[in-house]
Amino acid sequence: AATPAAGAAAQAAQGDPMILQPRPWSTMLGHPVAFHPYGVPSKYEANLQRRQSPGLTQTAQASVAFAPLQGFFGIITPNGLHFERHHQGWVDIDPDQHRFMINGMVKEPKVYTMDDLMRMPSVSRIHFIECGANTGMEWGNAAVPTVQYTHGMLSCCEYTGVPLKVLLDDCGADLKNGKYVLAEGNDGSSTTRTISMEAALDDVMVAWAMNGEMLRPENGYPLRLVVPGVQGVSWVKWLRRIKVGDQPWNAMNETSAYVDLMPDGMLRQYTSIQECKSVITSPSGGQMLMGKGYYNVSGLAWSGRGKIKQVDVSFDGGRNWRTARLETPILDKCLTRFNIDWVWDGSPAILQSRAMDSTGFVQPRYGQLHAVRGTRSTYHNNAIQSWQVADTGEVFNVHVE
Amino acid sequence: AATPAAGAAAQAAQGDPMILQPRPWSTMLGHPVAFHPYGVPSKYEANLQRRQSPGLTQTAQASVAFAPLQGFFGIITPNGLHFERHHQGWVDIDPDQHRFMINGMVKEPKVYTMDDLMRMPSVSRIHFIECGANTGMEWGNAAVPTVQYTHGMLSCCEYTGVPLKVLLDDCGADLKNGKYVLAEGNDGSSTTRTISMEAALDDVMVAWAMNGEMLRPENGYPLRLVVPGVQGVSWVKWLRRIKVGDQPWNAMNETSAYVDLMPDGMLRQYTSIQECKSVITSPSGGQMLMGKGYYNVSGLAWSGRGKIKQVDVSFDGGRNWRTARLETPILDKCLTRFNIDWVWDGSPAILQSRAMDSTGFVQPRYGQLHAVRGTRSTYHNNAIQSWQVADTGEVFNVHVE
Amino acid sequence: MNAFSLGREATPAELQAWNIDVRPDFKGLPPGSGTVERGNTIWDSTCASCHGTFGESNEVFTPIVGGTTDEDIKTGHVASLLSPAQPVRTTFMKVDTISTMWDFIYRAMPWNKPKSLKPDDVYAVLAYLLNLAEIVPEDYTLSDKNIAEVQARMPNRNGMVFWKGMWDVNGKPDTHNTACMKDCMPDVKVASSLPAYARNSNGDLATQMRIVGPVRGADTLKPAPT
Amino acid sequence: MNAFSLGREATPAELQAWNIDVRPDFKGLPPGSGTVERGNTIWDSTCASCHGTFGESNEVFTPIVGGTTDEDIKTGHVASLLSPAQPVRTTFMKVDTISTMWDFIYRAMPWNKPKSLKPDDVYAVLAYLLNLAEIVPEDYTLSDKNIAEVQARMPNRNGMVFWKGMWDVNGKPDTHNTACMKDCMPDVKVASSLPAYARNSNGDLATQMRIVGPVRGADTLKPAPT
Ligand code: HEC
Ligand code: HEC
Ligand SMILES: [Ca+2]
Ligand SMILES: [Ca+2]
Ligand SMILES: [Ca+2]
Ligand SMILES: [Ca+2]
Ligand SMILES: [Ca+2]
Ligand SMILES: [Ca+2]
Ligand SMILES: [Co+2]
Ligand SMILES: [Co+2]
């Protein structure tokens, strides 16, 4: 008889034990339905988690948990992995006790319960949300290892709620003199942000649902503002109040934070729109390619000003570009997934993606961004991201001007 | 001094204690970020669960857990509430041990690992999945109380995977003589279904992801077939094999189950396409309206043959109809959310929705379905659903011919 | 072909291990045989706990055998499918090809230990079921050689129609509603209402609906308000 | 208006309870006052544990005070914002309106017990911070009457620009890349690479990537392979 080693070799020649030896799951009776009345991911997916970036913030309540973009597919963010950004921690509000007020320049200041709001004519739309500070650690130079930390303050959900316009009409808002609205939260921070009346009358929603279910507590349950195309801080969570006014409020998060420091020492305020941006998520920083050959290079593109029109990808650090395939649907102020073929020959390469939106605007290179805004800014970094593939297959975060 | 009762009354006159007395969540420091590295819904949402329908099946492994459509918004189904239908229980496969084979009428039968498949050119698309037996309990008469049980074998996700056509090409499939493909699972049942080559070359995907993350174990982790527009049983889960052939296979689930019993005693086989259908989810059976007045009536429409073109809603049992608003995006073989205004005057009413798809096909009334297919069928019940609102506000499941 | 250099050729042993499907024309059927008698033994030890001793009935599962007649074996069309009096639709009332049963038992049964039967076991247990269904005699040995004869006696072998209308995405529908908008029905007749006992048959509905929003779940532990 | 008969008019008491926002023109500012001295007491007992005794520094939070000069108070533009040598950007270096600080402290501080301060407490603690920032003298009493004077001395009151380009959805962008496709750069220069120490600074990346797929996470507990 053959030795065990020889037996294993013979078997290897015959084929893969994963096929030749029946697996437990194909020879057993599985788990019943509703074993998990509310389901969870496979235990083999545990590596994909929201994570803090060590040293970024001084507390875990005024902080960020980054979404693991390196493991995402398509454009929808699973609610359990939506990025988190709180100013004073997240709270779990009893929706029956929640109230929503509209006041200021309105004929009749009003109070609504969740029951009232959820009876109103609702809309459902898919939009991205990006924190204004996303990619902030990268303003000056390459600082963090993976796309989770460089770009992970980004998510995309189908929101359902009542258009803010419907509510403003319901209260008789003064649309002639009221040029701004203030949104205020009901958490400890009661965060406020000024929203333009133009947006308020266009596509802003007072939303209670994300991806088919109610908002998650971390994302504002039971009510948040959805301000498509605008940085996340304006999407006020645990929303309790909208006030109509004729001047911006200059709130703390409009003066001390979310202002863009320019090379001349001036601070740009109310820089709200998230301009056109993209990033390759696979392969990306901190990953190892599994050998030479074909890869489907995949990433995300978005614009706060409209739809994505085109995404180009470079494999030589920006010298030459090829146009990627865009997955459908391609929606307004929404993530668009792109894919492009690549055959890796095993030599070093620098991968970049460059998005163009429906206004014709093209995502800038770092050099172009630095030339205008310097290197000491924090917010609204939409520069082209570079991933350097070493001949070992390891992918590194680098900046190309 | 006032008595406590008088005090309460005075306060009520002043306003709502939910506003006048600061709530705990607005006067405390909340929870840190990444408190849940993978988040969960609010505790106040616990009523929305997947549930079995008592007495429907004899075991919980060859059974169904229905999705709570009555609580959904928009078109995306949260993965944790996706409906479940298994033949031999669900299994949690180690993706590193999973293999996928293509054989039959191909030049080269091949074996792929998950690593291989996930390197291939992928697509992402949003599609509905409906079990062929959805609304099956309702063929003869009104049988179950809520939309969770009448229509809850329905879900809708963004899927990511490689088009089956890419894989068939990779193995050199004989597209001249190969008119059918067989899909086979890797669970205990190793369920098989015959798929048309036409679909296989069109929009069928070998998918690993749903709604941005890997498939859930209950939904086939790490690999399932996505057969847009076709009943769920063909979306073989835990997919291990595709075989190309020149004849259908007549599998157990193509003969003993998923066949449509006609009034003449014949069984229709391979009735795969889920024809145009819709249902109002709010208000729906087992719910109580909260008094007279305005309601946003909301529901879902879908068609296995294309896009939704129009949804009409009747409030008088089908005598008169009004056209509903359709939310965007409106996609091929995908759920479409509709909404329509309704002012309930407090008197009894019968609510119905009627969808029309891009082929011009109009969802049938029960009378029309019964006239062709009788009352003893089990599958493919796409009749117009009626919800009767009593003057008490309670909503009941009824059938109108 | 092989455009990606991903994946690899399947080995003969791998194909043998997984290529288990059996078609109506018996392509894929492994050689082998089994007697009714041996099938009876396997059935009683391995199947009966779920399907009942005679495969006809028990408290849990829909019977496999029953509802077919000698006349059906002649016509190839099970007459009881027409009868509302027939309590259940058994497997033999529906399945038109014997290959289906061979294929299914081999891949999926016994339910709690699928893929544990050898081909000869499947022939045997299928012979036993065929005998129960009065399709083969008690002393029958089913094999790959004679299975075509059995096929010619399947009670519902002519009872199926491949329904193109719902197979092709462009197939022809069989219902024909129109998008009438006004005065569409002379009068609305409720043909069927949820039976009163069914209001609470799926549990207390108050606990199955959201606690806020436009509606609440009806408290079905109490009678419906009037 | 009131098209839906949903919701109801807010009462005066409700408006009073929630209408707490204060604007740069002091609309919304409640009457009241507080001295630097009382502010010092509140600060030491209620704020210092997080923000440090003098509001200038501690180990945890970005300082509120510091980095501003008498010259800044004159120009209304904080010069140290231009200096890369300035280690941090304090609140007083940036915030242009005193209303912002009043509004924020009243709604959000102390962080672990927000909305526990009375208006007079806010005036007091703000007076204390203004004194630390050398904007008001030690014996100052801040009130709704004199707060406009303080505004006129805010060090960065002229340091902000309302940037329309990124406020309006149709605003004018300030960068102007083009969709060049071929030979776009003479040579590619890597301006900055992830520092070697940062490869493992966010934990072992092997445990942060999926265990199957086109890639694996790099094992950053070991040095990068070469
Ligand atoms: C532990 C319970 C159990 C045992 C033991 C068991 N079965 Fe089954 N059997 C089932 C269940 C449950 C189903 C239905 C599966 C489904 O819904 O897909 C089934 C289905 C079947 C069917 C198809 C019925 C139809 O019409 O779809 C056949 C044939 C069958 N079993 C034969 C057998 C044979 C032969 C054995 C023994 C070798 C056996 N079973 C052992 C539980 C069992
Ligand atoms: C338990 C810790 C804690 C205490 C006590 C506390 N703070 Fe704070 N404070 C913080 C944190 C954390 C932030 C940053 C919040 C954010 O990121 O939104 C902050 C922010 C601030 C800011 C805004 C700084 C900026 O530039 O954004 C001011 C002003 C402030 N605190 C004043 C006070 C005052 C006054 C008190 C006492 C009455 C106080 N704080 C008590 C933790 C604390
Ligand atoms: Ca209530
Ligand atoms: Ca300002
Ligand atoms: Ca492996
Ligand atoms: Ca057939
Ligand atoms: Ca028995
Ligand atoms: Ca100190
Ligand atoms: Co630079
Ligand atoms: Co009828």
Determine, yes or no, domain membership for D1. no
Q: How far is CA B313 from the centre of its chain?
A: 21
Q: Measured between beta carbons, which residues in chain C are less than 8 angstroms from residue B229?
A: 169
Question: Which ligand is nearest to the Cα of residue C163, counting in written order?
Answer: 6
Give the environment of ion ligand 6: residues with CB less than 5 A: B 250; C 96, 160
Residue C52 lies in a domain: yes
- B252 and B349 part of one domain: no
Q: Is residue A333 part of a domain?
A: yes
Rounded distance, CA B284 to CA B398, Å?
11
pLDDT by residue (tens digit) across A314-350? 999 999 999 999 999 999 999 999 999 999 999 999 9
For ligand 1, say whether the CB of C46 is within 6 Å of any of its atoms: yes
Ligand in closest contact with the CA of C94: 1
Looking up residue D112, the CATH number of its domain turns out to be 1.10.760.10
Q: Give which of C177, A119, C206 is closest to B353, Cα–Cα.
A: C177
CB D49 less than 6 A from any atom of ligand 2: yes
pLDDT given at position D60: 56
b/e per residue B35-65 (b: at least 16 CB within 10 A): bbbbbebbebbebbbbbbbeebeebbbbbbb
- Position D9 in a domain: no
**What does residue D42 show for φ and ψ, rounded to 5 degrees?**
-60, -45
Choose one of B268, B294, B321: the last residue of a domain: B268
pLDDT number for residue C1: 52
The answer to whether position D52 is within a domain reads yes
CA–CA separation, A37 vs A389, rounded Å? Answer: 43
Helix count (H) and strand count (E) of chain A?
A: 7, 24
Same domain, A354 and A381: yes
Q: Tell me, rounded to whole angstroms, the distance of Cα A7 from its chain centroid.
A: 52
Residues C64-69, mean pLDDT to the nearest whole number: 94
pLDDT of residue B2: 44
Kindly state whether residues B250 and B292 are assigned to the same domain. no
Percent of chain B as helix, strand, coil, to the nearest 5? 20, 35, 45
- Dump pLDDT digits (tens) for C136-176: 999 999 999 999 999 999 999 999 999 999 999 999 999 99
Peptide bond into A145 cis (omega under 30): no
CB-CB under 8 Å, A101 with D10: yes
One domain for residues A191 and A235: yes
> Could you give the ipTM of this predicted complex?
0.96
Specify the pLDDT at position A69. 98
Q: How far apart are the first and last CA of chain A?
A: 66
Beta-carbon neighbour count of residue D96 at 10 Å? 25
For C88, the token pair is 């259940």
Residues A297 and A262 in one domain: no
Chain A: closest CA distance from residue D193 (Å): 4
E strand or H helix that includes residue B9: helix B4-14
pLDDT in tens, D188-225: 999 999 999 999 999 999 999 999 999 999 999 999 99
Residues of A21-33 as b/e, b for ≥16 C-beta within 10 angstroms?
A: ebbebbbbbbbbb
What is the total count of domains within chain B?
2
Radius of gyration for chain A, computed over Cα atoms and rounded to the nearest angstrom = 24
Residue C73 Cβ < 6 Å to ligand 1: no
- The one-letter amino acid code at D195 reads P
Tokens linked to A325: 């395939």
Q: In one letter, which amino acid is B258? A: Y
C9 domain residue, yes or no: no
How many structural domains does chain C have? 1
Inter-residue contact A106 to A244 (CB < 8 Å) = yes
Q: Do C190 and B317 touch (CB under 8 A)?
A: yes
CB nearest A362 (choices: D99, D177, D183)? D177
Q: Is the peptide bond before C110 cis (omega within 30 degrees of 0)?
A: yes
In a domain, A227, yes or no: yes
Query: d(Cα A373, Cα A228) in Å, to the nearest integer?
Result: 24
The verdict on residue C216 lying in a domain is: no
| pLDDT tens string B358-400 | 999 999 999 999 999 999 999 999 999 999 999 999 999 999 9
| B110 within domain boundaries | yes
d(CA A283, CA A292): 13
Q: What is the 3-state secondary structure (H, E, C) of chain C?
A: CCCCCCCEECCHHHHHHHCCCCCCCCCCCCCCEEEHHHHHHHHHHHHHHHHCCCCCCCCCCCCCCCCCCHHHHHHCCCHHHHCCCCCCCCHHHHCCCHHHHHHHHHHHCCCCCCCCCCHHHHHHHHHHHHHHCCCCCCCCEEECCCHHHHHCCCCCCCCEEECHHHCCCCCCCCCCCCCCCCCCCCCCCEEEECCHHHHHCCCCHHHHCCCCCCEEECCCCCCCCC
The full DSSP string for A89-155 is: -B----GGG-EEEEEESBSS-EEEEHHHHHHS--EEEEEEEE-TTTTGGGSSS---SSHHHHH-SEE
Give the pLDDT confidence score for residue D86 in this predicted structure.
85
One-letter amino acid for residue C59 of the chain = E
Q: How far is the CA of B96 from the centre of ligand 5 (A)?
A: 5
What percent of chain A clears pLDDT 70, i.e. is strictly above it?
97
**Does A190 contact chain B (CB < 8 Å)?**
yes
Q: Is A228 helix (H, G, I), strand (E, B) or coil?
A: coil
Question: What's the rounded Cα separation, in Å, for the pair B244 and C21?
Answer: 12
Within the 120-149 window of chain C, which residues sit less than 8 Å (CB to CB) from chain B? none
Query: Is residue B333 included in any domain, yes or no?
Result: yes
**Domain final position from B242, B268, B294:** B268
| Chain A neighbors (3+ CB pairs < 8 Å) | B, C, D
Of the candidates D18, D171, D224, the beta carbon closest to that of A240 is on: D18
Distance between Cα C109 and ligand 1 center (Å): 6
Q: Are residue B313 and residue B353 in the same domain, yes or no?
A: yes
Atom of ligand 1 nearest to the CA of C101: 29
Alpha carbon A117 to chain centroid distance? Answer: 26
**Residue whose C-alpha is closest to residue C100's, from C134, C60, C150:** C150
Q: Which of residues 20-59 of C touch B (CB under 8 A)?
A: 20-21, 23-25
Q: What is the pLDDT of residues C102-145, one digit of tens each?
A: 999 999 999 999 999 999 999 999 999 999 999 999 999 999 99
On whether both A141 and A123 belong to a single domain, the answer is yes
Question: Which residues of chain B are under the pLDDT cut of 50?
Answer: 1-2
Q: Does C185 touch chain B (CB under 8 A)?
A: yes
B332 shares its domain with B365 = yes
Distance (Å, rounded) from C-alpha A206 to C-alpha A212?
15
Q: Does D214 touch chain B (CB under 8 A)?
A: yes
Q: What does DSSP say about strands A180-185 and A192-196: parallel, antiparallel, or unpaired?
A: antiparallel
Strands B123-130 and B154-163: antiparallel
Q: Are residues A124 and A207 in the same domain?
A: yes
Q: What is the mean pLDDT of residues C184-201?
A: 95
User: Does the distance separating the beta carbons of A294 and C212 come in below 8 Å?
Assistant: no
Calpha distance D195→A142 (Å, rounded): 8
Cα(B5) to centroid(ligand 4), Å? 48
Q: How far apart are CA C112 and CA C103, in angstroms?
A: 17
Inter-residue contact A322 to A340 (CB < 8 Å): yes
Best mutation site among A11, A23, A29, A345 for testing chain C: the one with the most C CBs within 10 Å? A29
The reply to whether ligand 2 has any atom less than 6 angstroms from the CB of D64 is yes
> Do A262 and A287 have their domain in common?
no
Cα D81 to Cα A372: distance, rounded to the nearest angstrom: 17
CB-based contact A47 D208, cutoff 8 Å: yes
The reply to whether D192 falls in a domain is no
Instruction: Look up the domain containing C35 and give its range.
Output: 30-166
B25 is a domain residue: no
Give the residues across from A51 on adjacent strands: A66
Cα distances from C215 to residues A185, B43, B71, C27, C65, in angstroms, run 26, 19, 10, 57, 48
Judged by CB atoms closer than 8 Å, whether chains meet at C113 and A28 is answered as: yes
Give a yes or no: residue B356 inside a domain: yes
- Residues, chain C: 226
Closest atom of ligand 1 to CA, residue B256: 26
Q: Which residues pair with C193 in a beta bridge?
A: B398
Q: Does B213 touch chain C (CB under 8 A)?
A: no
Q: Is B258 on the interface with C (CB under 8 A)?
A: no
CATH at A347: 2.60.40.650
Ligand 2, atom nearest to A191 Cα: 18
User: Could you tell me if the CB of D60 is within 6 A of ligand 2?
Assistant: no
- Where is the domain boundary, A268, A297, A331? A268
Asked whether residue B242 is assigned to any structural domain, the reply reads yes
**What stretches of B227-348 adopt beta strand conformation (E)?**
239-245, 260-261, 267-269, 277-282, 287-289, 293-302, 308-314, 322-323, 325-326, 336-344
Residue A180 reports pLDDT greater than 70: yes
Of D78, D174, D225, the CB nearest to A372: D174
- Contact of A163 with chain C, judged by CB distance below 8 Å, is answered with no
Atom of ligand 1 nearest to the CA of C121: 38
A202-258 confidence digits (pLDDT tens) = 999 999 999 999 999 999 999 999 999 999 999 999 999 999 999 999 999 999 999
Closest-CA distance of chain D to residue B30, Å: 9
Tokens of A133: 């500070």
- A329 reaches B (C-beta below 8 A): yes
Q: Are C76 and C92 spatial neighbours (Cβ–Cβ below 8 Å)? A: no
Are residues B102 and B247 part of one domain? yes
Whether the predicted pLDDT of A7 surpasses 70: no
Q: Do B26 and D114 touch (CB under 8 A)?
A: yes
- Asked, for residue A165, whether it belongs to a domain, the answer is yes
Is D195 contained in some domain? no
**Region A279-296 average pLDDT:** 98
Phi, psi for residue A194 in degrees, rounded to 5: -85, 130
Residues A255 and A116 in one domain: yes
Structural domain of B206: 84-268
Q: How far is A350 from chain C (nearest CA, A)?
A: 22
User: What is the distance in A from the centroid of ligand 7 to the CA of C69?
Assistant: 21
- For the beta sheet containing C190-193, the strands, ordered from the edge strand earlier in sequence to the opposite edge, are B322-323, B308-314, B349-357, B386-389, B395-400, C190-193
pLDDT band at residue A13 under the 50/70/90 scheme: confident
- Residues 30-49 on A with a CB inside 8 Å of D are 44-45, 47-49
Tokens coding A383:
């520069």
- Classified as helix, coil or strand, A339 is strand
